[in-house]
Amino acid sequence: MTNCASCGREFESSSDTEHLCPQCAAEVQSPAPPDVVGQAQRGRLRQSLESPTIVLIALNTLVYLLMAFESHSFLAFDITLLQNWGANSGASTCGGQWWRLLTSTFEHGGLMHLALNMWCLYNLGWLAELLFGRTRFTLLYLLCGIGGSLTSICWRGDGLSVGASGAIFGIAGALIPAMLLASNKKLRQVLKGRLISIFIFVAYSLVAGNATTGTDNSAHVGGLLTGLFLGVVFPTGLSAFERKGRARVIAGTVLLLLTFTGAGVFAVHHNEAYVEIDRASQAHDRGDLSAAVAYARRAVQLKPDMVHAQFMLGTLLLDQQQYADAIEPFTAVTHLRSNWGAPYVNLCVAQRELKMLKEALANCEQGASLSPNETESWFNLGRVRYDLNDLTGARDALAKAVALNPQGFDENLQYALMLITTGETDKAVPYLQKAHELHPDDIETEKLLRQAQHSQLPNK
């Protein structure tokens, strides 16, 4: 038996050079009348519309258009929208939202991301349909997409992952053994050129993905490995042993699902800290600060070297005015990431409240040097300098805070008070006026403004 190089059907070959079945050979050799041509064209159109490749491209495109409609943006989407539409992440997925393993494969972060993936899917999908059949191809695509998503959260954990590339790499991976192991020698010869192209595509894409920031190469590898396995297990062509072919599909799918289960267990363990951080953030959003602190503490216990967990814990403790407890996590962050100004500033705030002014000054100065464009750095440095009676230094630091945030109430008010303290009341008036405009109901600010304006009046 020989497989037709055009439609894939098996037929009795009478010679070594015959590679088309009688039906396809007849279509090539004898022109059909116009009405038959029209029927054939309509048949091809129907086949195209029924093709899983076209359906999958349509679904991916539809999801993208719906997301574009919601976000009023067509070229790219923000993280919040991707998260809301089912992006894959260690925290959300392992926190119980396992459906993200599949939904994320139908999302794309931007127009170019979608266009590139759909172009690859179109070129690889038709060949995979021919070799595996529509049902097996569809199952292959979905399983490879899930395999890529699982590998992503097992490998990376943090961050979001979206896109069909894991499934597409899976298709490419499945085609490699399917072509190499095809029983029909003529078919292997015909597909030899495409096999080389697929090898080049896979190798180039993996190297490029590894060199490009923002590319989830772990999903590519996971999809590829899943596809390689299924390409060996799934039968190709119209097998004469249909029951045996179905048994292979069922056995391979069950074995793969068991592997996915094991990977899921590993992912849950690997992402415990991320899950706790996500729960802490949700608790904070609903106003349950005590629960948020408990979740953040759990995250720090699980992963002490996680900068985000330590910083969140310190910030939550600072919000609850637990200044002594906040010092440890902020200190840990300064050791883990010494070039980040924010933890130094927050450590300064906690130490100032505890009257540890020398330590607070050192940390505020370090925070301001690392984050010179952050208002909080200069504002808190000004307050600590004032506590240490360095009035000139306090005035200069607060002046920078106001310059960075001219619309800040606290910045304008504190700078005005500092100018009054240093005997520059006339310069304080515009800043008091600004503070009053921002908070017209603040009685103390209005009182200070009147006093400063009165002091400007000439004596009679």
Tell me the catalytic residues.
165, 220
Measured between alpha carbons, how far is 77 from 64 in angstroms, rounded to an integer?
10
Q: Nearest CA to 248 among 98, 139, 345?
A: 139
Q: Which two tokens stand for residue 57?
A: 């491209």
Measured between alpha carbons, how far is 58 from 44 in angstroms, rounded to an integer?
18
Q: Which residues contact 129 (CB under 8 A, 6 or more apart)?
A: 51, 52, 53, 137
CA angle 271, 276, 280 (to 5 degrees): 150
Q: Are 191 and 128 in contact (CB under 8 A)?
A: no
Residue length of the chain: 460
DSSP state, 105? G
DSSP states of 210-234: HHSTT--HHHHHHHHHHHHHHHHHS
Q: Which residues contact 198 (CB under 8 A, 6 or more apart)?
A: 124, 172, 175, 176
Q: Which two tokens stand for residue 226?
A: 């899943």
Cα-Cα end-to-end distance for the chain: 117
Q: Are 228 and 153 in contact (CB under 8 A)?
A: no
Measured between alpha carbons, how far is 417 from 403 in angstroms, rounded to an integer?
16
**Residue 116 neighbours by CB distance under 10 Å:** 16
State the alpha helices, DSSP H only, in 79-184: 79-84, 90-94, 100-103, 111-132, 134-155, 165-180
Q: Which residue has the tokens 């074995």?
A: 255
Measured between alpha carbons, how far is 432 from 409 in angstroms, rounded to an integer?
9
